[in-house]
Amino acid sequence: MKSKKNIVSTVAALMLLGAGSVSTAQAEDLPIAGDIGVYSQYMWRGMQASPSASVQGDLGVESDFGLSANVWFAAPLGNAANGNNTTEFDFTVDYSTEFGGVGVSVGYIYYLYQNASSLNTGELYAGLSYGPVSATYYYAVNANKNGWKKDAYVDLGLSHSYGGFDMGANFGFYLPSNDVNNPTAFPTTKNELGHIDLSLSKDVELGGGVTMTPSLLVSVPTYTGKPNGASQFVAGVNFAY
C-alpha cells in the first residue's frame, strides 16, 4: 500500500489506498505535507512486495504553479532472505493543472532500493481525472536487472465518500514490453496480469493538526490461472500533520 505511488490520485484529490495511496494532511499556511503509518504488508500493483509489516510515509512540497516534489518510503519490519531489509524510496516530480474541470498530471518517479540498487528504475506517467474518476498511464524509461524498460502500466480509479468514510476502487493492468532488447520484467503479463483494489478509510482528527487514518484494502488478482487464496488484505493506520 502506498501513499503516493499514485501521486496522480493525490493531486486529483482521489486519496485511494493501493498502488496505492494514503491520505495526507497539509500543514496550515505551509506548502509541505507529510505522513507516516504502519501497514500489515506492502502491496504494489496487485503484487506482494513484502509479506511482513512495514512502515510507510512520505514528505512533499508544492508550488503555486502546479509543480510538486515528493519522496515516499516503505521500510519492511521483517528481514529479507539475504538478512537485510530492502527499504524503498520513491522520488517524484509532478506538474498538475486543470482545464474545464479536467485534471491533468504529468511527472517522473524514480524508484531507489536500499541494499538492492540493481532494482533501481524509473517511470514517466500521465494522468487525467474528472470528479471521482481517474486514469493514469505509466511507462518505464529506466532498466534494472529484471528488464523493466518499456513496460507500461495503466491504473483506472474511482473514489467516493459517504458518512465520513472514503472508499476507493482501482483496476490496474500491465502492458509488457515487446522489445527483444528490453524484455519485460513481468513475464506473467502474458496471462493478462491485472488486479482490482478495493479500499476503505476514515480520517479522524486528533487535534493539534494531527489526523489519524485507519484503513483496510483488499487486492484481488484478475488474471487467468491465478492461484487459490491469491487475494490479499492490508490493514493500516496512518498519521498526518
DSSP string over 190-205:
GG--EEEEEEEEE-EE
In Å, what is the CA distance from 40 to each residue of 78, 119, 149, 216, 241? 11, 23, 30, 10, 22
pLDDT of residue 227: 67
Quote the pTM value: 0.82
Q: What is the mean pLDDT of the chain?
A: 82
User: Is the model's pLDDT at 175 over the cut of 90?
Assistant: no
pLDDT score, position 80: 57
Cell numbers given for 199? 479500499
pLDDT at site 239: 95
Other beta carbons within 10 Å of 88: 24
Angle at 199 between CA 194 and CA 201, to 5 degrees: 160
- pLDDT for 72 equals 96
Q: Is residue 224's pLDDT more than 70?
A: no
Residue range 151-162: mean pLDDT, rounded: 94
227 vs 189, more confident: 227
> Please, which residues have CB within 8 angstroms of residue 78's CB and are 6 or more apart in sequence?
50, 51, 52, 53, 85
> Are 68 and 61 in contact, with CB atoms under 8 Å apart?
yes
Exposure string for 118-135, b = 16+ CB within 10 A, e = fewer: ebbbbbebebbbeebebe
- pLDDT band (50, 70, 90) for residue 73: very high
Q: What phi and psi values does residue 7 have, to the nearest 5 degrees?
A: -65, -25
- Per-residue pLDDT at 1 exceeds 60: no
Quote the cell numbers at residue 211.
Answer: 489526523
pLDDT digits (tens, 9 = 90+) for 99-131: 999 999 999 999 999 888 888 999 999 999 999
Residue 134 has pLDDT above 90, yes or no: yes
Q: Is the pLDDT assigned to residue 16 strictly greater than 50?
A: no
What confidence tens digit (pLDDT) does each residue in 43-54 have? 888 888 888 899
Percent of residues, the chain, with pLDDT higher than 70: 79
pLDDT band at 143 (very low <50, low <70, confident <90, very high): confident
- Give Cα separations from 84 to 75, 77, 91 (angstroms): 11, 10, 22
| All structural domains of the chain | 7-240 (2.40.160.40)
144's grid cell:
534494472
pLDDT, greater one: 104 or 27: 104
- Contact yes or no for 195/19 (Cβ under 8 A): no
Would you say 218 and 231 are in contact if contact means Cβ atoms under 8 Å apart? yes
